[in-house]
Structure 1
Amino acid sequence: MTDLNNEISLHASPPADASVRRRSLVAACGAHAVHDGLTDLIYVLLPIWQVQFGMSYAQIGLLRGAYSGMMAGFQLLASRAAQRWGRARMLVGGTALAGVAYLFAGQAGGLSVLLLALMLGGLGASTQHPLASSMVSDTFEAGGGVKEALSHYNFAGDLGKMLIPALVGVLLTVVSWRVGVTLMGVLGLVAAGVLWWLIPARRAPASRLEKSPRTPTGSDSVSGLRALLLTGVLDSAIRMGFLTFLPFLLTNKGAGPASIGLALALLFVGGAFGKLLCGYLGVRIGMMKTVWLTESTTALLIVLAVELPLTGMMVMLPLLGLVLNGTSSVLYGAVPDLTSVHKREHAFALFYTGTIGGGALAPVLFGRLGDVTGIPYAVMTLAAILLLTLPLSWCVQKGLDRSPC
């Protein structure tokens, strides 16, 4: 009888577990929103800094590249450091560092200080993606809502991208850019304090005491993870390449600055909801079917974006944003299924490094292609390359099924 009671207690989820899951998800979503918002805030500030410091376009590119490069380059080191110093300390410390970086940027008197501040900001931001993602995965085990939780996490990042730059844009109408940037630094420090209080102590969830799902092992899972990484790199590269060309496509169709702003807003709103909805869709119909649906639809809509007149293009942009961004939630959700618990942070760091790196290189490579072939043909090329993700997703599915690809 005692053994039976023990077995029942192991399989029951204590009330605390629900609280731990909820706090972990709120903390991860909050970190994602703040970090992504501070990252994309740079786009609002670059034109102001250009006028303030008399920078060339090459120097502007250097500033943006410094932040992105530090963020992409140090994610693997952040995951390793978390194994020694603890995930909570690294995530809180990275968020605080991002806040301190904006405090420095608010006092910058020249390009060198501004460059140093953005490098520090990128270093702080490098902790967020791998550590917050693995925190969500650890508390929402596969089969217990991990994919849905990651879709909420990704949705929160897009909310941050929309809200923080918009907030600062309005704020700059009444205060100087130095005051606005300093306030964002304070926001980063406050967010770090909230995370320190909110992140629960790291421990094995009760669900792991149960008979856990099969643990990924063997070369099949390794090949599946490699295929997943390549799929993510291509998906990110095509997304960033299309975003680079979109304003020029709109201009060719007669759009002015206001129409371009509206078009981007429509695309990003669709993209935010796409990250949320496609995560749930992946649970319902599976990773491979979802990727085939979203990527093939994306390729078709990219072609239509070239062919349609301006009004038709504006109407379909929210749907394009939904499928263009939605695939990423499905891909993120497959990472825990292809890795063991102890390698999860490293796998997420590797995945985000590849996708962010692919997204950073894409505008350069496809921009050169656009110079040679023209914008319409370059965009058509994006759609064709995107179809390579279809066979890759089949290989990922084979890894999930534990069958050699």
Structure 2
Amino acid sequence: MAKIESSEPVARKEKKTLLTGSLAHFIQDGFSDMLYVFFPLWQAQFALSFAEIGFLKTLFSGTMAGFQVPASSLAQRVGSLRLLTAGIVLTSVTVFCWGYAATPLALGVFLVLGGLGASVQHPIASSLISNAYVGVSARRTALSTFNVAGDIGKLALPGTAAYLLLNHSWMSVGQMFGLLGAGIALVIILSQRNVRQSEGAMQAKAGKASGGRLRWRGYEAFWSLSTIGVIDSATRMGFLTFLPFLLQEKGAGIATIGLVLSLIFAGGAAGKLVCGILALKVGVLRSVIVTELMTTLGIFAMILFPLQAAIVFSPFIGIALNGTSSVLYGSVPELVTEERRQQAFAVFYTLTIGSGAVSPFLYGMLSDSVGVKTAVIIVALVALLTLPLTAPLRNKISGKR
């Protein structure tokens, strides 16, 4: 039997791997959702239409989605942790440079580069954490924690940005957050030495499956899960992109918009953790059905409620809006073999983030034609398409049905 080299207890390595992945998720998801606060400012600055605003989101998220699989392959050559850190540095630099964008074209270039940097963290961090934890319960809880870290970033960065924008220009605020990202990258660099020893074995496992493909036959449940993720992501990104404009129609200012987004992301953080654990208790099928129905009803409530009621209701729509994703992410390892986990995560994130990238542009064109309110109603109805897709998941995922 081969001797396993280890300089520290397995449990400590697990925690350090989870911390590294969670920090990456915190800052990258925070940067991604901080864009929603800047969209109304950029619309006024550059006289943009709703379709053009949606296209800016598409540039960032589309690049992030398109490089998921290449990033997974590149990690096997240069090292997962090294690539993870490089991605944070690149995104942080582009956020710092937002203020130097004199035209929408220049801003678009920075968003593309930022999306490139953000593309590495989802498949790599998820795979590292999934391989570090043994057992369905421990792995699902760790991945839920990882997802919560991303939602804490979504909560902290947009809310802080909205507060800072009251007294500073959006150019200066971008520079502040760029420096924050660089600081987090430094923290990860200092902690990498303690988890690198286990990285080689994980990459070797991933390398065995790199030549194959996740075909439909034998992986029907995985592809069904991914399709649900595509619709769920399109719903979430489409709604959040145009929520600030929906709130503006109700009389909200930039500070109120930032508050609502923060409350939604706070609810989302709680929803991801609670729904991830709930899936173990009542099953993935019931969790997905309940959260998607709640999402549709919640979006309608945000449309119909007056501004003050919408603010109070924000955390509840956040729970529904983000709760499904934790259930879906945590189920990926159960639907593929251990050797294909990194590939499966890369494919899953490519599809879901790609959907989230395209949907703002499509819904933006729809908003220009029929108005923001009608477009958001359509977003809510599309979420219901996930319900029949839960059927192939029966008896494929652990937990109660």
Shared fold by TM > 0.5? yes
From the superposition, tell whether residues 245 and 97 of structure 1 become closer, same or farther in structure 2 (CA, over 3 Å). closer
Instruction: Tell me the distance in 1 between the aligned counterparts of 2:295 and 2:390.
Output: 15
Asked if structure 1 preserves the Cα contact closer than 8 Å seen for 2:69 and 2:347, the reply is yes
Structure 2 partner of 1:38: 31
Following superposition, the deviation at residue 134 of structure 1 comes to 1.1
Q: Does 1:96 align with 2:115?
A: no
Q: Does 1:230 align with 2:230?
A: no
Structure 2 partner of 1:352: 349
| Equivalent residue for 2:127, pick from 134, 146, 166 | 134
Instruction: Tell me the distance in 1 between the aligned counterparts of 2:382 and 2:170.
Output: 41
Q: Which range moves more in the overlay, 263-272 or 336-345?
A: 263-272
Asked if structure 2 preserves the Cα contact closer than 8 Å seen for 1:273 and 1:322, the reply is yes
| Equivalent residue for 2:319, pick from 319, 322, 325 | 322
Q: Render the CA deviation track for 1:218-263: whole Å, top value 9, x for unaligned.
A: 96651111101100011111223333454565566x5543665544
Instruction: Tell me the distance in 2 between the aligned counterparts of 1:88 and 1:147.
Output: 21
Asked if structure 1 preserves the Cα contact closer than 8 Å seen for 2:158 and 2:261, the reply is no
Structure 1 partner of 2:160: 167
Q: Render the CA deviation track for 1:69-108: whole Å, top value 9, x for unaligned.
A: 2111111110111122221121111112222333444555
Instruction: Tell me the distance in 2 between the aligned counterparts of 1:345 and 1:280.
Output: 23
TM-score normalised by length of structure 1? 0.80
Give unpaired runs (5+ residues) of structure 2: 206-213
CA RMSD of aligned residues (A): 3.5
Instruction: Tell me the distance in 1 between the aligned counterparts of 2:308 and 2:41.
Output: 32
How many aligned positions are there?
380
Asked if structure 1 preserves the Cα contact closer than 8 Å seen for 2:239 and 2:379, the reply is yes
From the superposition, tell whether residues 283 and 104 of structure 1 become closer, same or farther in structure 2 (CA, over 3 Å). same
TM-score normalised by length of structure 2? 0.81
From the superposition, tell whether residues 331 and 166 of structure 1 become closer, same or farther in structure 2 (CA, over 3 Å). same
Instruction: Tell me the distance in 1 between the aligned counterparts of 2:120 and 2:221.
Output: 25
Q: Does 1:279 align with 2:272?
A: no
| Equivalent residue for 1:71, pick from 45, 64, 83 | 64
Structure 1 partner of 2:384: 387
From the superposition, tell whether residues 243 and 184 of structure 1 become closer, same or farther in structure 2 (CA, over 3 Å). closer
Give unpaired runs (5+ residues) of structure 1: 1-5, 209-216
1:335 is paired with a residue whose SS is helix
User: Which of the pair has more CA radius of gyration?
Assistant: 1
Instruction: Tell me the distance in 1 between the aligned counterparts of 2:297 and 2:34.
Output: 31
Structure 1 partner of 2:394: 397
Instruction: Tell me the distance in 2 between the aligned counterparts of 1:368 and 1:175.
Output: 32
2:394 is paired with a residue whose SS is helix
1:145 is paired with a residue whose SS is helix
Structure 1 partner of 2:18: 25
From the superposition, tell whether residues 237 and 36 of structure 1 become closer, same or farther in structure 2 (CA, over 3 Å). same
Instruction: Tell me the distance in 2 between the aligned counterparts of 1:372 and 1:115.
Output: 24
Structure 1 partner of 2:210: none
| Equivalent residue for 1:157, pick from 143, 150, 175 | 150
Asked if structure 2 preserves the Cα contact closer than 8 Å seen for 1:66 and 1:122, the reply is yes
Higher RCO structure (Cα 8 Å, ≥6 apart): 2
% same residue: 42
Matches within 5 A, 1:195-206: 195-199=188-192, 200-201=195-196, 202=199, 204=201
Instruction: Tell me the distance in 2 between the aligned counterparts of 1:250 and 1:44.
Output: 12
